[in-house]
Amino acid sequence: MYWIQAERQRSRVLLTRGTPNALTRIGGARRSATTPMNEMQILYEANLAKTGDSLRWGALVLLVLGLVGLVLCFVFSSFPDIIGPLLVVAIFVVMMGKAFVKMSRLRCNSGFYRISIDMLGLHVQSDDSIMGPSFSVEPSDLHRRVRKKDGDFENTSYEYYIEEKSGRRHQVNEILASYDLDVMALFRRIADRFPSVIVVDE
């Protein structure tokens, strides 16, 4: 996810109390004393067009660097020694090419990726399949918030899931989790509303 990390910005995780003047960042000082249980709280909201535009440039820069690396492999190496480095760089170029295409498509989408909670449960609205499917989980079905370790000790990254009591899991979008979504802060806000939902590490 190098192309995401190159473009990482401040978190835009949001909490709303139902009115424009009450829009607050998670962890911010301005908070309403009480929040009616029937009001929706928007925990995070990303404009897909703006997000796609920001990440697209990072992917483009890394794609160009990968292509330069391919050229250098041919300039400074010869067969069969070139096969190993060439394969690694080629895989990187393919990954960055796919990322660039996805973000270019995303920047044309005027929709949102939104995470919210209310008395009916947790809701994720995804207006593009690139960001994963939309889903809702009722309060009685919410079971765990899962942080799953991905990678070895030196190159640790995490995947984040909302788990139902049935065992079914819904993944929090990994692109945004690596970009500007503070998932652990998001989990804490969910716990404030639904204290029985525990956090586990795997």
Is it the case that residue 17 has pLDDT exceeding 70? no
pLDDT band for position 36 (cuts 50, 70, 90): low
| pLDDT the model gives residue 65 | 86
Which two three-digit tokens encode residue 158? Answer: 């995490």
12 band by pLDDT with thresholds 50, 70 and 90: very low
Q: Which CATH number fits domain 2-52+108-201: 2.30.29, 2.60.40, 3.40.1800, 1.10.260?
A: 2.30.29
Query: What pLDDT digit, counting tens, does each position of 135-180 carry?
Result: 999 999 999 999 988 765 555 678 899 999 999 999 998 888 878 8
pLDDT band at 99 (very low <50, low <70, confident <90, very high): confident
Closest CA to 144 of 120, 172, 125, 119: 172
Which residue is associated with the tokens 């067009």? Answer: 49
- Which region, left, alpha or beta, applies to residue 152 given φ > 0 means left and ψ of -120 to 50 means alpha? beta
| pLDDT of residue 124 exceeding 90 | yes
Q: Is 196 exposed, middle or buried (0-12, 13-18, 19+ CB in 10 A)?
A: exposed
Provide the pLDDT for residue 152.
58
Number of other CB atoms surrounding residue 195 within 10 Å: 8
